[in-house]
Structure 1
Amino acid sequence: MKHLESWLVRFLDKPCRYLCLKDWHKKRLIDLTEAMVYKKHQELTKQSPAQADLVMRTLRALFNFAKSEYKSCDGSTLFPYNPVGILSDKRCWNNVARKQTRLRPSQLKPFLESVESVRNHAIEYREDFSVAVCDFVEFMLFTGLRKTELLELKWQDVYLGDELYIISRTKNGVALELPITEPLQPIFKRRLKYKMSDYVFGAENRLGRVIEPKKIVKKINEQAEVSFTLHDLRRTFCSIAENLRLGTYTLKRLMNHTTCRNDVTAGYTVLTAEELKSPAEIVCNKLKEYAGLIDKADDIAILKSQISRLSKEQKMELMAAIISG
């Protein structure tokens, strides 16, 4: 059970005390009963209904694995029943609805101004951890990456000369290659200046990286008078990208979402960081436009920038399409 909690701590990025599984550390899987599972789920629900369900879904998966893996000499399983089934029998699952919150276009300006203000104050007073968190929060907005995936980004996976970086440890287990867009360049330069470990968002602690940034996030919230969570930034990026009609496969790749196994086309669609740069820049520019960092009149400049990355053949094809249209 101690190994189960260790996995959950990494997956949820929460401290052990939050999951309250310490009293199960020395128990064998076979010793867990329906009554124990039911009681533990009720206790965890008081702290977080969503995470209570996640803990029990993971426990259910472990029991299902054990049922098939561990058998006696006569072939019968050593785990004949799954005690987590009691939650379905009693209809105790919380079934928390997916959140729909995000930053509105009008909130992006005060949000980014607050990030900049908190960061400048931290730089002045040598509060390196706060600087790292502000860089991390801004990075999340302009990429839509998951919290833990980004916090675990190492310098060995950053290629500044090629303007790309690789997220090696992802939720779906598939490495993700992404472009370094214009808003990310000053962040990487600053992180390099503040480098203190193998991690891009390094910190002086047992892991060598930022672990829990919520205190600084709270400060940004208060200054901006905007209430947001880190996952709201991911939903903001995704929503704006979808509105720009980038294409389903492009958006899925930027967000690192898996596609259905029966989607044959997805299996043949391989997008590199170079090919993702133009659509990623389009999303970043729209975010900057909403934040008042660039004028809408800069659309021509943005278009020129995008065209400059096309090959000669692609430019000729574009011109032909414009003339014929």
Structure 2
Amino acid sequence: MVRLTQTRAWYRVERRQTVIKSHQVAPWYQGVMLLKHDKTSQQSGLVADYLLFLLFTGLRRQEAATLKWSDIDLHGRSFTVSDTKNREPLTLPLTDFVCSLLESRKAAADSEYVFAGNGKAGYLIEPRHQVQQVRDASGVSFTLHDLRRSYITTAESIDISAYALKRLVNHKMSNDVTAGYIVNDVERLREPMQRITNYILRIISPE
């Protein structure tokens, strides 16, 4: 029994594979927009922007929630995540959509955190209530991490290069010899990140 427990043979957990499918993105977005214009709670608009930020950047929820305004360079159109899962700082470009979202949020900011929370931590922790509101309004069941998976799936579907995608979502490439010779700076990543944004926007508002 000890051996089985140590090898996790008793509790083999499969990795979740859920994403927001292409046909669900538009209703999901409309649900977020209803949340954004909800005047009954000051947090509703902030959570709406947080959800959009997750979908359009692919960041992990904690990475996005703990972003500070000092991490954002609106003039240079980039932002830096210092505390990442793999302990490697990540600097990414701001697309037109995300830059506009942050500029609007900055105008009303009264906290050092981009997505401020009401608790002691100072940043947004777990917006369960607002997430449920979006689920109910859109009919789309999703988790916060589904937004990251959706971003990655979208990028792969439009043939973003594997090396660019790994850099965008900060996956380690230490075992890839070729990757060690490729420099993915912010400007090199700007075009693929904008392509992902444009594709999502076309799904949201097809012409």
Q: TM-score range by the shorter chain?
A: over 0.9
2:5 corresponds to: 87
2:155 touches 2:165 (CA, 8 Å); kept in 1?
yes
The structure whose Rg is larger is 1
Gaps of at least 5 residues in structure 1 are: 1-37, 39-83, 296-325
Alignment map for 1:1-325 (pairs within 5 Å): 87-88=5-6, 91-92=9-10, 94-121=11-38, 124-125=39-40, 127-261=41-175, 263-292=176-205, 295=207
After superposition, the Cα gap between the structure-2 partners of 1:90 and 1:194, relative to the gap in structure 1 and judged at 3 Å, is closer
Which secondary structure does the structure 2 equivalent of 1:177 belong to?
Answer: strand
After superposition, the Cα gap between the structure-2 partners of 1:254 and 1:89, relative to the gap in structure 1 and judged at 3 Å, is closer
1:129 touches 1:210 (CA, 8 Å); kept in 2?
no
Give the aligned length: 207
Measured after TM superposition, the shift of residue 215 of structure 1 is 1.2
TM-score by length of 1: 0.61
Which secondary structure does the structure 2 equivalent of 1:210 belong to?
Answer: coil
Measured after TM superposition, the shift of residue 231 of structure 1 is 1.0
Q: Which amino acid in structure 1 is aligned with residue 6 of structure 2?
A: S
Q: Which runs of 4+ in 1 moved over 6 A?
A: none
**Which one scores higher on RCO, CA 8 angstroms, separation ≥ 6?**
2
Cα distance between partner residues in 1 of 2:90 and 2:52:
19
1:103 touches 1:236 (CA, 8 Å); kept in 2?
yes
1:102 touches 1:235 (CA, 8 Å); kept in 2?
yes
Which secondary structure does the structure 2 equivalent of 1:256 belong to?
Answer: coil
Which secondary structure does the structure 2 equivalent of 1:101 belong to?
Answer: coil
Which secondary structure does the structure 2 equivalent of 1:192 belong to?
Answer: helix
Cα distance between partner residues in 2 of 1:213 and 1:177:
26
Gaps of at least 5 residues in structure 2 are: none
Cα distance between partner residues in 1 of 2:7 and 2:105:
51
Structure with the bigger percentage of helix: 1
CA deviations on 1:159-182 (whole Å, 9 max, x unpaired) are 000000001110000010111101
CA deviations on 1:205-224 (whole Å, 9 max, x unpaired) are 20111011111101011000
Which secondary structure does the structure 1 equivalent of 2:37 belong to?
Answer: helix
Q: Which amino acid in structure 1 is aligned with residue 84 of structure 2?
A: T
State, as a whole percentage, how many aligned pairs show the same letter: 35
TM-score by length of 2: 0.93
